[in-house]
Amino acid sequence: MARLTEAQRAQLEALRQSYRAELPAKLGLIRGAVDTLHASGWEKARLAGLYHHVHKLSGSAAIYGFGEISRAAGNLESWALEALDGSLPEARRLELGALMSALQEAFSASETLGPDEAGRIRRRGSRASH
């Protein structure tokens, strides 16, 4: 694989920073979809809206190096897909809050540490606790 030039690295970092600046709006859309589910009911169209937002975030966050956000969004995406398929028991609706908290935590860590550093520190910490 070819190494990036300094100019290419600078362009990539600029793209990452631009993406990072968009993350609060992306999370706001997801939070809004969750709030709508709670307030207006668990209809399939509302679940599809949530799924759409988290699916996009899961993929794009990985591309831009925000692995922890991608993983948290992926967990929420799996939950939403089960709910859309009708295979999510009603009792598991309570998991939505914890999944949203994990997504918010991953976002907060990325703001403080940078895109890949948060994941490295979490992984290091989880190894130490085992």
User: For position 53, which CATH number holds?
Assistant: 1.20.120.160
Q: Is residue 80 part of a domain?
A: yes
102: in domain = yes
- Which structural domain, as residue segments, surrounds residue 115? 12-128
- pLDDT at residue 54, as a whole number: 98
Report if residue 23 sits inside a domain: yes
Domain assignment present for 30:
yes
Average pLDDT over residues 43-68: 96
pTM value? Answer: 0.81
- Tell me whether residue 67 is in a domain: yes
pLDDT in tens, 22-50: 999 999 999 999 999 999 988 999 999 99
Q: How many domains does the structure of the chain reveal?
A: 1
Residue 113 binned pLDDT confidence (cut-offs 50, 70, 90)? low
Q: Where are the alpha helices (DSSP H) in 1-130?
A: 6-40, 44-63, 67-85, 95-113, 117-128
Is residue 115's pLDDT more than 50? no
